[in-house]
Structure 1
């Protein structure tokens, strides 16, 4: 049996004329039968309706049907709303706080473009090429708790992703994307998905925004950030239609030219060059100031070098070949190679019975240096390392916060923002936004402390400098040991 439809009345500005609106509602109900609710938009209260409102607030009078009103539109009526998050103002009169939290379930036929960014593999499906950017924008705006899609004849359950910027925005619920295969497929790919869900409107807010351990960054945030500011929002004419009812292109069935000629472009776009240093740089690989005898590996966009005056003979730096100040300034190609070097170093050090600690100080420095220091596995756990950093930070009144494992530091710090950052090879991360003075040797001091490497005399690199022949010998030794793990030699 079909549910009976709700009978709803909607009205415009009441402006405090409570008897007028409720009298009219009573007359309508006497003639046409009972209505389920009254929705009031605009100004419900007037600037001078205290006496009339007091009768409803105290219960002397009652609204004839459940009435829902919106908040103040001017300072004159703010006093009528005791709770900005919404509440019952009087019997049968409820203030709605129209704060959009998202939707529970989103259904789209196409996949969203780039849904696999920051996430587990989608198998044979290339998420950078399949699906629709329009759907990506829709998912980014609606923030569904579940998003189901199809058309690619594949099953893919993506790791959940967050819908807020860590440390910069109020925590929100996560989104789970599930793509389902076609019914009855011969490969026995999953095409039916069963789940239960409590509507977000019925959930405790704290429970709703809990972040699972495997949560990742939002796959669409980078796309929105990189969208040209001068360009109008993406329209259906900017991508080929994938279903007939989406096809708003004038030339149906024809692919858009990709050489730029249709737009009158005469030259292909040139890759953006990294910023140039304002003076001599000790770390730009092309610079004459670079101590090349310390270099142990050179990739396409990055290189690896022993640290001068390192905490240990295998203390290394990951450095961009071009001039970049911090990780948040890196292009996607450079960042991808940084990730490769981190993976190679993790495997290398683990083969030696060690774990690495990586830190970056984007403060009073002009070229990115990712310091990578190995620590014996049997000396301390990852929890010991985090505790040592946090304890020393507290002693120096430094707020060092833990950020989620799958977070992207570019979502925590904007370009040009001074910061200190720690990352363990387990993926655990600590972050401090520098707002004043910051101890330049803080990272080394923590690692050299009695709690970790117990070599406090090596906290200052200038006290650890060796002669050039010794440095060159250490570099040759490291280069030879690292060679089986060096991806740049297999390119």
Structure 2
């Protein structure tokens, strides 16, 4: 990743950080609010700003540039999303101090604090023409940011990722945003960045919505080593009149300083990763489709799957899933699961032997996430269940057996195909 010298702020191991949504030139409002909070709660270490930092009133900014007004906290901002804001950056196009205590990070890269805190950033919005520009980023920008990650065998992730644009489909498997159609909002390149950088926190702006998603996993359960979760937060604009949250405060211990067992602790409400892992790999690094017993993805189905992912997710209406009411034997992340019975783990589903089966070959196909029945499960879960069925039919046909599949019609918190 790009490393660029910026003003280093001395920080303690436990960091207190603000993140603000689109400021849009309302500097006095923002900094006054921060001053008041710091009077009550003590000083914070850093302010991060996503979305449009500048507005149309140049004089409001000029008073800070001239030193007539002071910025009360070390502040890191992203680049412009609109052409009318590019003049504010004209003397620091590659990043640098715009005034005392306000630093423009640059187009893309990683900020490394003296405490070990790592902040990855990507400025602008995805180019509709695939070309990088003053206010746009392209696949090439994202790939260059990810290349060092691909060669670093010790890479765990970053502490924070800030982008102005949302990742596409971020609420898949989570609570729906409601105010936004996330299939048609956001950037698939930002999704690609998020899944490969594995941030502990990901902040975005621009959509004038406050949305705090349930944490999502950065690993395949049982198939990969357990990793930390990611928390996604979308922030509203300062100017919103509906009292939507535009300022987020939190504490964080950097990856480099935190105990591994504490870092990888999974929360009870953790979900699957909302982004498609295969489609989100940098294009030159994509591998062939996952194998179970056979190649389980027919050629025509691969095309359909790619189209669904391109369109932003499942064809079915997104459903808000109920959280389990108690311990679930079928959750791969649950301490109750009997892992010695697991045969194969896919992206959305897994195969396991039945405990006390009706016959010797009694097998279960189960979703990794909580879905109560096939009628409520998203299409990618159903597709993978069907691929498991196809593979099992082929396997048992070779040994002279036939397969009967059934789903019991009774209320359960975790569906099972037997």
Return the TM-score normalized by structure 2.
0.38
Return the TM-score normalized by structure 1.
0.33
Which structure has the highest helix share of the two?
Answer: 1
Higher RCO structure, 1 or 2 (CA under 8 Å, sep 6+): 2
For the pair shown, which has the larger CA radius of gyration, 1 or 2?
A: 1
